[in-house]
Amino acid sequence: MRVALPSRGRLRDECLALLAHAGYPSSVFRRSGAWATVQGVEFIEMRPRDAAAALSVGQLDAGFLSTDIVAEHELDGLASTPLGFARSTLVVASRDDDGRKTVADLDDAVVATHLPRIAEKYFAEHHVRVRVLEMGGALEGVCAAGIADAIVDLRETGSSLASNRLRVLDVIRPCEAQFVRRDSGGLDSLVLRVEAVVAARRQRYVMAHLPTDNVDELTEMRFGLAAPTVLPLAGRDDMVAIHFVVGADELWVRLEELRRLGATSIVALAPEAVLA
């Protein structure tokens, strides 16, 4: 099975870290460069655009891509797992001194982008006539210099837009890294591991000692998995050990609730994998 990996940049680093966490050693890619077979899966380092093109014609079985590239190559119909990193927002932006307030003000404008299909579809849906100029590289300076009236581009922090005195006219969609694949049983193991790691990054595993009388109240709390595990403590009738999984974003609220219930010896850990 052939799987494309980003050939450079932060997306590549994040994907290699994810694979290493899932039991696919990433050191082989640093040694071999563009190609390596790991546990029966053939990983090929490619530019995401090239990987999407190859995936669209069936020359690859899967790839680690970003949402914008997936949409640009019309791969939205394929199975996909959001990975939770490389997050950004696809926006329409123009110069902050051009008097434009909305996308409708771009009628007859020139719009630079590295995503021509998305841009053309977006403006057609909004009934705005524009000329789409396909370009690569950093687009903010192109707009600031007046080569284009606006851009359709990714925004991460917004600092680059601000430094070039551009403002956002509209948000097209949120974007993040995705593991996209065709329907193929040969990738079942890889999909299982990737999804288990992604799920684990959103959860925390909590252990504590709790007064026996408060177990019923504990079970009324929300958990990441079905229910808490309650175990006896050696030599104690008044306390039990509890184990449960909770969402990482609500960990501290749950810890405060445990304290209110009289819990002690509380330990919270990041799990390696979660398979519900």
- Assigned token pair, 182: 């065709």
Domain layout of the chain by residue ranges: 2-86+176-199, 88-175, 202-269
Exposure letters 80-89 (e unless 16+ CB within 10 A, then b): bbebbbbebb
Q: What is the dihedral of CA 179, 184, 185, 186, to 10 degrees?
A: -80
pLDDT grade, residue 32 (50/70/90)?
Answer: low
Residue range 202-269 in CATH 3.50.50.60: no
Range 88-175: architecture per CATH: 3-Layer(aba) Sandwich (3.40)
Look up the CATH superfamily of 2-86+176-199: Periplasmic binding protein-like II (3.40.190.10)
Q: Give the Cα separation of 165 and 147 in Å (integer).
A: 15
Whether the pLDDT of residue 136 is over 90: the answer is no
Give pLDDT tens digits for 215-260. Answer: 998 888 777 777 899 999 999 999 999 999 999 999 999 999 999 9
Q: Give the Cα separation of 244 and 188 in Å (integer).
A: 27
Number of residues in the chain = 276
Whether the pLDDT of residue 214 is over 70: the answer is yes
Helix (H) or strand (E) holding 180: strand 177-181
Domains 2-86+176-199 and 202-269 share a fold: no
Nearest CA-CA partner of 170 in 216, 232, 212, 125: 125
What pLDDT sits at residue 209? 96
Specify the residue for token string 């891509």: 65
* Share above pLDDT 70 across residues of the chain, in percent, rounded to a whole number: 98
Q: Give the Cα separation of 28 and 120 in Å (integer).
A: 41
Give pLDDT tens digits for 138-184. Answer: 899 999 999 999 999 999 988 999 999 999 999 999 999 999 999 76
Specify the residue for token string 């581009």: 153
177: phi then psi, degrees, rounded to nearest 5? -70, 145
Helix (H) or strand (E) holding 232: strand 229-233
Pick left, alpha or beta for residue 133 (phi over 0 → left; psi -120 to 50 → alpha; otherwise beta): beta
Give mean pLDDT, residues 88-95: 96
HSE of 249 in the Cβ direction (CA atoms, 13 Å)? 2
